[in-house]
Every structure is written in C-alpha cells, then in structure tokens.
Structure 1
Amino acid sequence: MGSSSSLFSLSQLLTLLILPPSSASYNLQQNPSESCDLFQGKWFFDPSNYPLYDSSQCPFISSGLNCLKNGRPDNRYLQYIWNPTGNCDIPRFDGKEFLERYRGKKVMFVGDSLSSNQWQSLGCMLHAAVPNANYTLGSRGSVTTLSFPDYDVSIIFVKNGFLVSLIDRTLNLDTLTRSDLWKGADVLIFNTYHWWLHTGRLKTWDNYQIGNQTFKDMDVMEAYKVALTTWANWVDTNVDPTKTRVFYQGISTVHYHGADWGEPEVQDCRGQTEPINGSDYPGQKPPGDAVVRSVLSNMKKPAFLLDILLLTQLRKDGHPSIYGGGGLDCSHWCVSGVPDTWNQLLYTLLIES
C-alpha cells in the first residue's frame, strides 16, 4: 500500500494557506451606514415567536431529533430569534416562494448527520408552506431525496461524513467519495467535521493515504486540511458559478462540558433551557474553524461559508439532550429548532444574490 511514514508535515504536500478569509458584507441593511453581519449577533426571546412548522405534522423528522415527541417538557427553545449584528433586514422565510424560485432545480446537502439535521429542517419548512402539495420521499444507498412534483424541486441529502473516501480503514485524503452525485445540483451545501474527531470505537480509520504514501501518525487537523483542499479543488474544477451556488456549512458546536461556556459546575447540555446571554462565547473556537476559513479563502470559485459557529455556540439549550430517544445527545439539534435559523440565513443569501 505504498511507503509509510510515522510523521508528516502538511507543508510537504501543500503550500500553506495563510490568507485570511475576506470579510463578508451583505446588501441587507435598512441603514447603509451600518454594516450587516448575518453570523455575528445574539439570541433574544420573543414570546410571540413560534416555528414555521409544527414538528408533530412534519413527516421528515428522524426520531432522534423529534424532541417534543420524545417528551421534552419545555418549548422556550423554539421562541428565540437570531438577531444579527448591524441593521440587517432579513426576510421572513417564504417556502412557497422558495419552491417557485427553484422550480425545476435540485438543492443538495452533502455531509454528515449535521447536514441531515439541516436537510430535515428545510424539508419541514417547505412542507408547511405548501401542506397540500404532493411530495415523494425516497432513499437509495447514501442518497435521500425529498421531491415536490408540483414544483419539480428536489431537496437531496447525500450522507458523506468525510467527503473523501474511506477504504479498508484508510482515509484517502486526495480521493473524493461519489463526487459524481454532486454534478447537476443547482445549490450545494457541503459539510464535514465531526467524524474527524471520533476516537475509540467510533473511529473508523487507522491510516491516511495521499497518492501512494500512507501515514499512521498524521495530525488530524492537517489531514482535515488536505481533505478539504481536495474538495475545494473539485469545486474549482467542476462548478460553474453561473449555474450552481456552493455553500459550506460551518462547524456546529457541541455542548458536553459546561466549562466550555463558563459553567464548570454544569456537566453537559442536560437541563439547559436558555441560550448563553450576549454575543460572546467564553470557550475556544474549534481548531477546524481556522482550517475551513483558510481553505475557502483560497478557492478560485466562490464557496460561501454558512457560518453557524457562533449562533450554535450560544445555543446550549437546543440539543436533543436526553430527549433524542436514547442516550445523551449534545451534538445534534432538535427539529424544529436551531437548524431552522440556518435555513433562514441560507434563504436570505439565496434570494439576495
């Protein structure tokens, strides 16, 4: 399987990606003198706010994310609204308008279960907007497709935890998995991160491979950067930005240690019913965040970062917790819930482009 090495420096194979990501400014202001940053801000409670859909009426929610059905006793977590920095004029999500705008098109989420989290949320938001419209839901292998035939719109989830291929417990960092599926989509939303952090019995690989070289003790963030660069090269080579919009779902925060958000006496997300106040998170950013920003900043074709990091850092109350149907889940998000905001921001970017 080629030569092996015990140590590996990423600089041997890649030019260091050191350019900072360009700061994004949006044409969403009510007051042009104030900049609008969709992804910096805070959550505020609005007792009159309720989700765009009733989770009990949505047929697309997996059992582990249907928190109310699983007995979660509170619903305040559904009444928080994301308030971005600046005087942003964010349109209310209009599912029917979305379907009309993307008539005859495909919207595809590619990634791990956090991509599925967002896909399920969007499916519910659209279904609630056109409750009497026909729909079909089908799965084949790693692909799950929700279609609205009346609009000829498909919302697709492709399960692909690493984006690169895993063969015989070796992650091939320069080879993508089923990238043929990605071609022809009109909107692509990619994600990979959480699987790279797996350890113990959850870890599914022993080695990394690049070309004909195999590496045993490669730093996981260096491996992650190589893999993301392989993905970025595919986008640069294969995507026509006049036909396809590309997004990268930023890193979604987990809440397994209260010390991370300044409450060392709190064990995890169990019993959390309110977000963190304000617009600052006491803990550190995950190491993958800098990697994602670096890779995106060096792409030739536009890939927009759907930067959900801060807005998820602040939502220690939004996880299934013990209401996921089994065990403790402080990684994923209740549906309805926080992912609805991800889709609200995605919708904003799509219609403003």
Structure 2
Amino acid sequence: MNLQMFDLPAHQRRRKAPKVASLVALSIALSVATIICVYSPSLLYNPGNVPQAVPSSDSPRESIRRPEKDDEPEAANSPEIEPSEPPSSIKSDLIVAQTTLDRNNSERRSAPSPSPSQGDENEGRTRIPIQRSPEQTKRVSPVPNPAGGIDHSKLGDKESCDLFTGEWVPNPEAPYYTNSTCYGIYDHQNCMKYGRPDTNFLKWRWKPDGCELPIFDPHQFLEVVRGKSIAFVGDSLARNHMLSLMCLLSRVLYPLDVSTANDENRRWVYREYNFNVSMFWAPYLVRSERTDPNDITRPFNLYLDEFDDGWTTKVQAYDYIIISAGQWFFRPTNFYENRTLIGCLACKQDNVTQFTMNFSYERAFRTAFRAIISLANFKGVTILRTIAPSHFEGGVWDQGGDCVRTRPFNRNETVLADYNSELHKIQLKELRIAQEEGSKWGLRFRLFDVTQAMSLRPDGHPSKYGHWPTEKVTNDCEHWCLPGPIDAWNDFLQELIKREETKKSSYRYT
C-alpha cells in the first residue's frame, strides 16, 4: 500500500479508498462462490423443479371443500386470538426448524395458504410428501405390534414408558379444585352440588407400570401451550374432558369466552398466553342429520363417507386436534354412502340391511381421519382419545342400571366388555391406517389410550348425583364427576404435548 496516500487531502483519500475496498469485496465474493459451487451444490438446488406428487386413485387425500367467507370461524377477525398466529418468537423458531429440516433432508413442501375468497378453487390440491429418513419416521409414528394394536412402548424418543398400562394408586393431595373454585362445571357432572356423600373417589391418581405420570401442573402446561391452540372434536365426553382441563387451569387463570355461534361449538382464549381452546360438537364425526328436527331421540341419518363441515372446515389452523367418539353410535341410525341408504342400526324398516354399530364406528373414524389428511395446510398433531367405558350395573341405562361403587377396580377385578373391546380395536386399527397415510405428508397422529384406565373407575360417574332427587332423570354412568377420575386425562394430555414439543425442539437443533 502507498503510504503517501495518508498525506493526501481528505477529499482525495475518500475517492481512492473505495477502489481498494471494491477489489477486496470482489475477491471475497469470488472465493465464496467457488466454495459454494464446489462443496455445496445442494444450495443451488431449485425447489421449483420438484415434480408434484400425484395421489393414487384409492388415496384418501380427497380435498376438503375450502371454506367460503361465511364459513370462517366468527372470531377470525381478532388477530390477537387467531389460532394460526403464534407469537413472533415462536414463529421464528418454527421457521428455523423448518429451514433446518429442508437443508438437511432436501425436503420441499408446497402448501400456500388459500384466501377465503378462493372458495372451491383449491379443490383438488395435492400435497408434496415430506421424505423422511427411516430414523425420522421411527421418531414420528407409533409402531404397530404383531397383535394388531399399538405398541405403547414404541412411541418415540424418550417414550419407552407405556403411559397407558398401569393402575390407580392413592393420592391424598387430590382433588386440585372443587365445584366452588371452578365455575364452569355442568350440573349433570357436579356431583358435590347434588349431595354425593363419599369423597374417596377423588383421592386417586394413575400410576403407569415402570414410571411416573406427573400430576397436571397448570403453570407448566400454560407455558408449554403458549401461542398454541387445541380443538376438542367429539361428543359430551369430549366436552367433559375440556371442562376438566379448564377447571384445572382455573387455579391459575380463567379464559375469556369468545364464542359467537348459536350452536354447541365453543371457543375460549387465555389472552395472557395467546392460548386457545375450542370445542366442536361432532358426536358422529361425519355428516349427520336428524330424521325429526324436534326429537333428538329419533334415528339419525349418517353419511358415512362425507365430512362434517361443522368441524372439518374449521380445524386447519389448530396445533392439536383431540378427536373422540363413542356412546352416540349405540343409537338407532340410518347409514348412507354415496347418498344412498345402505343399512341401519336398530331400525324397523323392511328390506333394509341391519348392521352392527361396529360398521358405522369404523367408517366414521376412517372418514374423519381422511378429512384431516385432506387439509392441505394443516400442520398440527391429531390425537385419538380412545373410548371410555360406561359402568351400568343391574340393568341398562334406561332400565334401572346404576353405578354405585365407591372405589376403583384393581386391574385383575374386571374385564373390558366385548363391545367396548371391539370398539377399542377399531380405533387402534383406524389410527394405524391414518398414521401410515399421514406420514406420507408429514402429518402426525398420536394415541391417547384411556380405555384401560377408565375401565377400572366405576366409582367416578355421577349416577344419581347429577340432578335433584325429585327430577325424573336416569342414572348417569357414562359421564364423569368434576372433579373426578377424568382429571387424570389432563395428566396424560400434558405429558403427550410435552413430548411433541420436545420433539420439535430436537428437530430444530439436529
């Protein structure tokens, strides 16, 4: 370098210095470009050249009707509570996580978000499946065991403990709320209000074999779900579960009810955590209609191959969908496929094929899972909560049956009724099918198996303590007292969501 340059006037030095800097910058740029071309050709890969996957003719990925403007959730104009908009810090982490996966595995996804004005123009959209390594696939999906069920011990990293096989053990610290501290308990589940004399049924917790299931911690749970959303899809037991969650969270915070629809779909937001909870009423999971609009006891028409727009058009933005169904399938129903009557359950129609409830139960779950897989922009986790048995003894529900026990069964004291066992097997089979198909598109389906645990709790139902003695109401051995055994479902839920969020973090840094 010419040292005389520093003796020049300042205005001349400013003209000469950029020339040197330009040469240095050009040299660096050429060196970086050479390194990229030689060592990292994958960085020059053009994702636009990736051919789009074409589903086979028997693929369940039928495109769901995109919602028209009037179909949007009513609270969609409130950006601060919109489920699809997590806080910016979480969004940044998710972007980093996806970028890391794209770089390491050459994965490319094309799923542009449709605007409401597009209407049905998005029908026929296909996903580009994420290609995962065998190790990643093992981490994402539960593995079926040879018996045809789900091997609980194979759920993924740090999940060697089977949460769902175990027994109830004493817990003197329970309950963690009362019917006085939680205002949201429905009357027919408010056993203390209606004078249930015993309280021992409240003093138990679920103990898995070989490990501990942590008791629900409302502070920890709200931190884990900060910026997220949960949709409960199903019948009154799904609502029972959701209310239990809200009662447990009431120790810390009450939500704001932002529901606006005049139906049984409800929505709440915990603004301090930008956390949303919704309940979508779908007792049959598929499209259904009453044969008598004014009489709910009359048979329903079930369209077993059609999506229920009441929830399938509204869950795309949610982080977690908890789906369940059960007792409604025992009711008299007419079965339709391709808009044609193909059979019925407990009907009195000549020349109509009589089916068992297993027929509709299987097809309903298959259609519900197919609906979720068809959502082109859904990136959340679907959790199947298995059937929770009722405990009528001495007769069926409308013929004097009751549930008067005051302590749990030991595991060797009872056997799951045949019909409950069959329904449970159907759920496991349909979940396995959904996991297989969903994995092609990077979708996660998880098992939430409460069947064994709840089969041991004949003591946890309202029985006659869901109403005043003067009311002519049948005993309730299907729903669960609040507080009560169903609170353990949120011990499970907390652990399952923590596992999912831990997996996301591990993907983010590997």
TM-score, scaled to structure 1? 0.82
Distance change in 2, residues 1:53/1:239 (3 Å): farther
Relative to structure 1, the CA distance from residue 274 to residue 39 in structure 2 (aligned partners, 3 Å threshold; closer, same or farther) is same
What is the deviation of 1:27? 6.9
Matched, 1:257 2:393: yes
Q: Distance in 1 between matches of 2:326 and 2:206?
A: 24
1:287-326 deviation per Cα after TM superposition (whole angstroms, max 9, x unaligned) = 2111111111111223222111111110000000110114
Match of 2:149 among 8, 16, 21: 21
The offset of 1:342, in angstroms, is: 0.7
The whole-number CA distance in structure 2 between the counterparts of 1:235 and 1:228 is 11
Q: Contact between 1:103 and 1:152, CA under 8 Å: does it hold in 2?
A: yes
Residues 245 and 84 (structure 1), Cα distance of their counterparts in 2 relative to 1, 3 Å cut: same
Alignment of 1:182-221 (within 5 A): 182-198=315-331, 203=332, 205=333, 207-216=334-343, 217-221=354-358
Q: Could you say which residue in structure 2 is the equivalent of 1:170?
A: 301
Corresponding residue number in structure 1 for 2:117:
none
Give the direction of change, closer, same or farther, for the CA distance of 1:19–1:236 in structure 2 (3 Å limit): farther
Question: Structure 1 stretches of 5 or more lacking a match?
Answer: 1-12, 261-266
Equivalent runs, 1:106-185 vs 2, <5 Å: 106-130=229-253, 135-136=256-257, 138=259, 140=261, 141-167=263-289, 168=291, 169-177=300-308, 178=310, 179-185=312-318
Aligned equivalents of 1:52, 1:83: Cα separation in 2: 17
* DSSP-derived class of the 1:208 partner: strand
Aligned match of 1:93: 216
Offset at residue 161 of structure 1 (A):
0.5
Structure 2 distance, partners of 1:282, 1:227, is 26
Superposed displacement of residue 122, structure 1: 0.3
One-letter amino acid matched to 1:172:
Y
Aligned-partner residue type, residue 167 of structure 2: K
Q: Residues of 1 paired with 2:59 and 2:376: CA distance?
A: 22
1:137 to partner: Cα distance: 5.8
Q: CA RMSD in A?
A: 2.8
Equivalent pair of 2:303/2:339 in contact (CA under 8 Å): no
Alignment match of 1:336 (pick from 455, 464, 483): 483
Structure 1 residue runs of 4+, over 6 Å off?
A: none
Partners of 1:142 and 1:160 within 8 A in 2: no
Partners in 2 of 1:126 and 1:182 — Cα distance? 23
Residue 463 (structure 2) pairs with residue 321 (structure 1): yes
State the distance in 2 between where 1:291 and 1:125 align.
31
Amino acid at match of 2:424: D
Flag the structure with larger Rg.
2
- Tell whether 2:375 aligns with 1:244: no
Unmatched tracts of structure 2, length 5 or more = 1-57, 61-145, 292-299, 344-353, 439-443, 468-472, 501-510
Indicate the larger mover: 148-157 or 61-70.
148-157
SS for the counterpart of 2:302 is: strand
Aligned equivalent of 1:223: 360
Higher share of residues assigned strand: 1
1:271 CA drift (Å): 2.7
Confirm or deny: 8 A CA contact 1:174 1:230 kept in the other structure. Answer: yes
In 1, are the aligned partners of 2:464 and 2:475 still within 8 Å (CA)? yes
Q: Point out the structure with the larger helix share.
A: 2
Q: Deviations over 1:60-94 (max 9, x none)?
A: 111110111111111111101111112x2323322
- The match for 1:263 is none
